[in-house]
Homo-oligomer: A and B are copies of this chain.
Amino acid sequence: MYTMGLDIGSTASKGVIVENGKKIVAVATIPSGTGTAGPTKTVKELFSQLSIERKDIEKLVVTGYGRMKYTDADKQISELSCHTKGVHFLVPTVRTIIDIGGQDAKALKLDAQGKLLNFVMNDKCAAGTGRFLDVMAKILEVQVSELGELSAKSTQEISISSTCTVFAESEVISHLSNDIPVEDIISGIHASVAKRVSSLAKRVGIQEDVVMVGGVAQNSGVVSAMEKSIGMSIIIPELAQVTGALGAALYAFEEMKK
């Protein structure tokens, strides 16, 4: 018995099919989001993985920024609910979720049953989000995807005293002109993101197990800096990128049982 979840973002569409609410049987990510053929392609990709058709899906739940425009779903559910459910399925011991996206950062506190108790979000300030890393990677003339690997080579962390992206940018430029090694600067940049996000996370109250998701969770340098900053180890689940779609598929299963 299959249920499906779709997470339609602004730049990517993701889909997951689960069997009997227990097993992930198909996963697809298409790098085009709402208003494009992205959602349709995602569905097609999922169906072809299992050689099934739309009628084989008992229930379909859609989430994400583009969920309101998608007409073929049985239900629309918020991203926050779907992400929480998806992460809790992957890591049943999770009590704190830290989600650093391209333009925002969130911290969520869950109870032992996976119920969302509280959350805090920063979507107003670029500091402590993926955007901060984008700005810094550009000045350093490296790819954002290289940052983690580069910072691993650092021998000393260079402190960035300003939290503000704009002021920190000037500090980085001055470090560069002082011939400070790029690896050390990157290490300082990761510490800055970690500091900012930890203070956000502390506002919900951090409890183990801590799970990190969102695009920035792919950056091992930020993850280490976060672990150092909160003094706990952090779990990065496989499939961290599709927790929204996964949660939607699990909600679809619950809908079906109703």
Contacts and interface: CB of A to CB of B under 8 A. Distances in A.
Interface of A: 103, 124-126, 131-132, 135, 162-167
Contacts of A125: 125, 164
Nearest to A167: B126
A165 B163 contact: no
A131 B163 contact: no
A227 to B, nearest CB: 26
Give the oligomeric copy count: 2
Contacts of A126: 164-167
A166 B124 contact: no
Given A125-B164, A126-B166, 16 more contacts: A103-B167, A124-B162, A124-B163, A124-B164, A125-B125, A126-B164, A126-B165, A126-B167, A131-B166, A131-B167, A132-B166, A135-B166, A164-B165, A165-B165, A165-B166, A166-B166
A165 B170 CA distance: 14
10 nearest interchain CB pairs? A126-B166, A165-B166, A125-B164, A126-B164, A131-B166, A126-B167, A124-B164, A124-B163, A135-B166, A166-B166
Nearest to A135: B166
A124 B163 CA distance: 7
Contacts of A163: 124
Contacts of A131: 166-167
A156 to B, nearest CB: 26
Nearest to A103: B167
Most chain B CB atoms below 10 A, which of A103, A163, A164, A167: A164
A126 B127 CA distance: 11
A231 B256 CA distance: 57
Nearest to A170: B131
Nearest to A166: B126
Contacts of A164: 124-126, 165
A132 B166 CA distance: 9
Contacts of A135: 166
A164 B124 CA distance: 6
A105 B167 CA distance: 14
A164 B105 CA distance: 15
17 contacts: A103-B167, A124-B162, A124-B163, A124-B164, A125-B125, A125-B164, A126-B164, A126-B165, A126-B167, A131-B166, A131-B167, A132-B166, A135-B166, A164-B165, A165-B165, A165-B166, A166-B166
